[in-house]
Structure 1
Amino acid sequence: MSSATHTSLAGWPTALTVDGRVEGDRAVLLPRGELVHGCAQVLARTLAGLPDTVRSVDLDMREVSFMDTAGLQFLEALDTYGRRRRVPVTATGWNEQPRRVLETAGLDPGDPLNGPATRREPVPSAVVMERTQQLDLLRTEVEHLRRAIAGRPVIDQARGVLMATHACSPDQAWDVLREASQLSNTKLRKVAAVVTAGAGGEEPPASPAVRRALRTAIDRCLN
């Protein structure tokens, strides 16, 4: 089984695929790519295709390289499936950047749906409410940031995009732009335009050199 979605981040196309297999009454799913806009729908389609004989679903997240707040919707889709079908679900093996987002959202990166406090006993309602509020606040902050950067110059917009998608500081976002500009020998404004165009779903007028420079700069400055 396999489902996929395509999106664009910082000027280059990326894809999320969800492969899987069924072992007896256990489904093992392997998402690959980035948890961004549309990822929850991809997972929902994959889960809908599982046979009725499945009694547990385990996601191996080692091949997920990046997530933004859409990744929280991905987890909600998995949790909803588990509750509706009354089967245990897990999502383990998270990489560095997704782990930071999960921690910011107040979730356990070891297994955000079944953390240590929830494995043996129900989660107190107060904890559930607090976690829900944390998730709502995170989504609201990102949405406000996206709206605020819309009216700013392109370099400020690009910094805001990087901050929203990579959960980084303003200084780190600036370092990414500057590093990519130097690596590709391209004006900073043109690099920023690539980032903002990619975030808006447009096809940016970027050379392969600029795209490679952005990837390298993100790895160097944010990891």
Structure 2
Amino acid sequence: MRTTRTAAALLVLTTLLSGCGAWESFRTSDFAKEDGAAIVSAAGKAMADVTSMRLTGQVVARGTQVLLDLSMGPKGRCTGTLRAGGSHIAIRRVGARAWIKGDEGVYNSVSDRALPPQVLTRLSTSWIAADDRSILDLCELDGYLESFRVVNLVDGAGKAARDTSDAASDVTVEAEESVDGERVVRLSADTGEVVWVLSDAPHYVVRVESAVANDGGSLTLSEFNREVRVEVPDRGDVVRP
């Protein structure tokens, strides 16, 4: 009798797992069984086809933690925010033009003297034309795709390696796990980088972590190939430095 009940319970459990797809989550995908070089190559090819994406997370810049949320598209289109030291900066870019808007804390921190209240109010409620190369690069999609492509694990130098033939010796395929409801393969390297790649095609890189001292961080890549809309500030709302 007990054997019958046990068999029936197992049958029900198996049926439920099969019906809801939970059983599949315990199985390792064929992609996760590939070696490091194959996964690196597949991820590199997938990222090469990305036309837009959203980048969120935190990085350390000159010892300061920066929280970022940027949506980047083709032709230099970008919009998002940066937060550091309790201050907030909004950024927009269209082609070779960029604008930033910071709160009062931003301008107090970069000014070598106390600014009058009316000046702070004017600055914090206006967009500042900022066509500096560093600002433009901050919102450069191609630059991020190169910097955060999984093949960075091979060289660890912040530049995408073109040749992944030796990647297997440098990259360790750690495990397959679930992130935000999607199956991903976790890769790691001796350089301190960890990368998560989608198990299902297209094999996008969806997360990057670095434990490099004074220059580490964690970034999530999402919303691939979606339209990025950027509203150009009105002329009356723009101040030129």
Structure with greater helix share of residues: 1
TM-score scaled by structure 1? 0.26
Q: TM-score, normalized by length of structure 2? A: 0.25
